[in-house]
Structure 1
Amino acid sequence: MSVLAPPVRRSAAPARRRGPAGVLTVAGLFAVLWLVVGPGDGGWLSFAGQLAGAEAVLLMSAAIVLISVLPAVESWFDGIDRAAIWHRRLSVTGMVLVIPHVLFSSGHHGPPPQAGQPMSGGRGADFGGLLAQIGVWGLAALAVWAVAPRWRMMLPWLAPYVARSAVVPHLRRASRWLLGGYERWRALHRLTGLFLAAAFVHGLLDATMFGSQVLRWSYLIAGGIGIAFYAYRETMARYFLPLHDYQVAAVTTVAPGLTELALTPVGRPLHFTPGQFAMLFLESADGWRRHPFTISSAPHDDVLRFTIKALGDDTTRIQTLVRPGMPAVVGGPHGRFDHTRGTDRQIWIAGGIGITPFLSWLRALDRHPLPARVDLFYSAVGDAPFAGEIAAVAAAHPNLRVHQHDSTARGFLTADDILAAAGTGHDPGRVSVFLCGPAPMVDAFVRRLRRAGVPGRQIHREHFDWR
């Protein structure tokens, strides 16, 4: 039987719901405002289509605000990783709302008619229709491109049938040729604001949208904010980002497909909290490439370390392209994955490369001490990287218990295994859980832990798989 210490630490998890709740509240109030004002001519079906289009513009504008990399946005959403996830959700939702807009809106474009004059189209109608086509198809293409890599999570029942299909290899080669890698996606994704601007101007040219000045100004504000933030991100944000110059000191192969980069500062070093991540800019044969990586070193170390798994084109070629002495630029830090926000009784769960933020915590224990008791569960395929280092840290800290799990020999680690080994069955409400690993694994753990009685505000996860 384990005795659980009272949770004297306070969890800051409720802050992560503040941002999404704010966005959803604004979207709800926007819809209520439009419904209260209503259409002037009683055409509610067409008005519903116009409202759907206006809501789509509002959500797309909010999505652009979330990727502005402003400190206030990161604080409000409890990390830019969560802001990026909500950016994707809002963008996809906005695209879904375009469907009723196209189906139900009247499609008239042009300047509002004067009193006593019939409504007509002309060049305004043609130009508005062209902008609508550009905005809708451009945003749809970017949305499909963004969610395509995650089709297995969205359609898990389809994955076994697709895997057995003989055309899969051909489709993969075709997609790589057509879509390219991360850098091509990132470059074209920057067109989001231009497509939004096209859709926004299309709405302004549609005379049927505005039955009152209230609706017109609400639409102007909703779309104008998004376009203003897009202009800021493309023209001025680079001058306000905290960037630090570094040099590659060592490139170490930790395990097959796993590389650790050690960087030394050239000038002012990066100051961070254990568990945070940073944007790492590395020079390659194709120019500078940027990726978000979790920092695996301690803040007081002489070098800055990133432990990188080969998951894409760039990360696969790091061992061959990056050499000691090459320049690097680090932006950040970012993220709110911090064990000091939990209770005095904690469980840490790492799956594969998800051990990275926990390495930073363990390496920083001299200056960022552990709570009363921590159980670290580390699941890996075969021999776990850093197992010896982690065991040495545990030997020096009696309140840390390490449970290493080889999934090839023992099967998948489950939440029931963790709760039983950690001895939390008597009062799971006093436990804080920190998770980092593949999204399906983390999602399964979160659901089971919630059912076991761990409060949602005390379950923390690092979203390292956001794009």
Structure 2
Amino acid sequence: MTGLASTLRLLSIPLLSVAVPFGFVLWAFPEDLAPARMIGIVFGWIGCGLLLVSLLLMLREPRLARWLGGLERMYRWHHVTGILAYVALLLHPLALAANGLSTSPAFAWETLSAFDEGWAVWSGWLGLLVLMLGLIVTFSPTLNRRLSYGTWRWLHAALALGVLLGLAHLVLLGIDEPVLPIIAVVALILAWRALRGDLGLAAHPYIVSAVRPIAAGAVEIGLRPLGDPLAIAAGQFVLVAFFAGPTYRGCGEFHPFTVSSIDPDRVLHVGVKALGDCTRRMLSIEQGVAARVMGGFGNFLADRKAAPQFWVAGGIGVAPFVALLRAGHLSDATTLLYLYRSEADAVFLSELRTIAASDPRLSLQAVATGDTLPDLTPMLPDASQLSGCDCYFCGPPGLIAALEPLLRAKGVTARHIHYENFEFR
């Protein structure tokens, strides 16, 4: 049953991304039209369906995330379906213009041009422009580095305006019968995300009960529930918003943090590394600060089989493995390759060395890499040692991207490779 459940999770989003646009096309399939015009209308409905899927995949609901293979996977597909939707919607007017070429190039240009049209056409082009700007903000490495998370989030949210403009385009064209229910669904998804996700109505109240340094620029924060605790498993992550305290200036934004342990009294601990303005301020957080917590999310460590394991962690990415070790979940021979910039920068390092010294099932390979990613090949076990191993990675995207092809070259198949990184933009 576990294998079937994993397969269903793997196929859930691709099937959803095909079924919804296909359903829209069947619902409003154009008949008795010229082929190019028909293709243009079909592209429009495909783009509309993909946008609806993209909106659904931005919801922060733990149960939905479990069904669809995890929040991080949902966000990746949210980006993919958004891009595909934009391409389909861009092909929509181009195909309509191609239909006019049979009359004359001038007529085809009039189909594309919005200068002599009204709001029915202007709204469609404005929607495409807003979507294009939103995609540039989302995928531009330069903007991602320069913009604060809060600014980036609000600019990314402008994509919702593009969706609404596109739906207004259809209504103004008089296509309201299939569109009005779609508008209702879009409004429900946007309101659900705004109220439960961004404003935190789905979050549970917690309070900071302990703070301890774990490395240079990193702390471990204990969070005690003020009501019913969240159902969280070792190795998962949560979304936390910290508010202002007597001296701490809170961020108020939800950020992802991996749970490093869960006490018997349901106090959960998260590791925080100073990676930006907000997390840098968290180094000075104090007991008594109020917090709101959503989760738990993430399942890449949930379905581990009884087999030898090879773990690779980069920086704060060691936290989910620390959570498993603290919970006593190690039952098979396990090798942990832990990469960090320097000894002072390594979180939980002394604790990991103590665990490895007392547990013969754990082999710890701790490596200081400096500021650049080293050659990983000599650090990896040989092919015979990796045979039958399940490999788990957690860390920055560059580390994951470098590891996967190296392990595949050593004969490790895709079903034995599991990873989680920290890309939530």
**Which TM bucket (shorter chain)?**
0.7 to 0.9
Partner of residue 345, structure 1: 308
Q: Please give the alpha-carbon distance, in whole angstroms, between the structure 1 residues aligned to 2:319 and 2:150.
A: 24
Deviates more, 1:399-408 or 1:264-273: 264-273
Are positions 1:400 and 2:345 aligned together?
Answer: no
Partners of 1:82 and 1:463 within 8 A in 2: no
The structure with higher relative contact order (CA 8 Å, sep 6+) is 1
Partner of residue 113, structure 2: none
Q: In the TM superposition, what are the counterparts of 1:91-240 in structure 2 within 5 Å?
A: 91-106=82-97, 126-149=118-141, 176=147, 181-206=148-173, 217=178, 225-234=185-194
- Please report how far the alpha carbon of residue 325 of structure 1 lies from its aligned counterpart in structure 2 after TM superposition: 1.7
Q: How far does the alpha carbon of each residue in 1:212-268 deviate from its partner, in whole angstroms, 9 at most, with x for none?
A: x9xx74x77666544432243345678996532222233333323222222233233
- Please report how far the alpha carbon of residue 441 of structure 1 lies from its aligned counterpart in structure 2 after TM superposition: 1.3
SS at match of 1:296: strand
Are positions 1:41 and 2:41 aligned together?
Answer: no
Q: In the TM superposition, what are the counterparts of 1:365-384 in structure 2 within 5 Å?
A: 365=328, 369-383=329-343, 384=346
Are positions 1:362 and 2:342 aligned together?
Answer: no
Partners of 2:341 and 2:370 within 8 A in 1: yes
Q: How far does the alpha carbon of each residue in 1:302-347 deviate from its partner, in whole angstroms, 9 at most, with x for none?
A: 6422111222221122224x22221112111111132542341111
Match of 2:73 among 62, 77, 82: 82
Distance 1:12 1:418, change over 3 A: farther
Partner of residue 52, structure 1: 43
Amino acid at match of 2:316: I
Q: How far does the alpha carbon of each residue in 1:98-133 deviate from its partner, in whole angstroms, 9 at most, with x for none?
A: 32223232599xxxxxxxxxxxxxxxx612123213
Amino acid at match of 1:84: Y
- Percent identity between the two aligned chains: 27
Distance 1:242 1:337, change over 3 A: farther
Amino acid at match of 1:196: V
Structure 1 spans left out of the alignment, 5+ residues:
1-8, 109-124, 153-171
Partner of residue 287, structure 2: 324
- Please report how far the alpha carbon of residue 376 of structure 1 lies from its aligned counterpart in structure 2 after TM superposition: 0.8
Partners of 1:251 and 1:323 within 8 A in 2: yes
SS at match of 1:247: strand
Distance 1:347 1:233, change over 3 A: same
Q: Please give the alpha-carbon distance, in whole angstroms, between the structure 2 residues aligned to 1:52 and 1:21.
A: 18
Deviates more, 1:96-105 or 1:287-296: 96-105
Partners of 2:36 and 2:98 within 8 A in 1: no
Distance 1:136 1:10, change over 3 A: closer
Match of 2:14 among 14, 21, 32: 21
Are positions 1:248 and 2:212 aligned together?
Answer: no
- Please report how far the alpha carbon of residue 148 of structure 1 lies from its aligned counterpart in structure 2 after TM superposition: 2.0
SS at match of 2:136: helix
Distance 1:432 1:239, change over 3 A: same
Distance 1:38 1:126, change over 3 A: closer
Match of 1:258 among 218, 228, 243: 218
Distance 1:447 1:32, change over 3 A: farther
Q: Please give the alpha-carbon distance, in whole angstroms, between the structure 2 residues aligned to 1:105 and 1:359.
A: 57
- Please report how far the alpha carbon of residue 349 of structure 1 lies from its aligned counterpart in structure 2 after TM superposition: 0.6
Q: How far does the alpha carbon of each residue in 1:66-125 deviate from its partner, in whole angstroms, 9 at most, with x for none?
A: 1223445312221112111111111122122232223232599xxxxxxxxxxxxxxxx6
Are positions 1:289 and 2:253 aligned together?
Answer: yes
Partners of 2:195 and 2:201 within 8 A in 1: no
- Please report how far the alpha carbon of residue 298 of structure 1 lies from its aligned counterpart in structure 2 after TM superposition: 3.2
SS at match of 1:68: coil
- Please report how far the alpha carbon of residue 59 of structure 1 lies from its aligned counterpart in structure 2 after TM superposition: 0.9
Q: With structure 1 as the length reference, what TM-score do the two structures score?
A: 0.76
Are positions 1:275 and 2:213 aligned together?
Answer: no
- Please report how far the alpha carbon of residue 409 of structure 1 lies from its aligned counterpart in structure 2 after TM superposition: 11
SS at match of 1:317: helix
Partner of residue 418, structure 1: 380
Deviates more, 1:45-54 or 1:435-444: 45-54
- Please report how far the alpha carbon of residue 28 of structure 1 lies from its aligned counterpart in structure 2 after TM superposition: 7.0
Are positions 1:306 and 2:270 aligned together?
Answer: yes
Q: Please give the alpha-carbon distance, in whole angstroms, between the structure 1 residues aligned to 2:212 and 2:121.
A: 56
Deviates more, 1:285-294 or 1:24-33: 24-33
Partners of 2:218 and 2:283 within 8 A in 1: no
Distance 1:343 1:241, change over 3 A: farther
SS at match of 1:104: helix
Partners of 1:342 and 1:458 within 8 A in 2: no
SS at match of 1:461: strand
Q: Please give the alpha-carbon distance, in whole angstroms, between the structure 2 residues aligned to 1:408 and 1:417.
A: 15
Partners of 1:381 and 1:407 within 8 A in 2: yes
Partners of 2:126 and 2:165 within 8 A in 1: yes
- Please report how far the alpha carbon of residue 434 of structure 1 lies from its aligned counterpart in structure 2 after TM superposition: 0.7
Deviates more, 1:323-332 or 1:13-22: 13-22
Q: Please give the alpha-carbon distance, in whole angstroms, between the structure 1 residues aligned to 2:92 and 2:371.
A: 54
Partner of residue 69, structure 1: 60
Partners of 1:372 and 1:399 within 8 A in 2: yes
Are positions 1:455 and 2:413 aligned together?
Answer: yes
Q: Please give the alpha-carbon distance, in whole angstroms, between the structure 1 residues aligned to 2:96 and 2:128.
A: 14
Q: Please give the alpha-carbon distance, in whole angstroms, between the structure 1 residues aligned to 2:373 and 2:250.
A: 41
- Please report how far the alpha carbon of residue 391 of structure 1 lies from its aligned counterpart in structure 2 after TM superposition: 1.3
Amino acid at match of 2:10: R
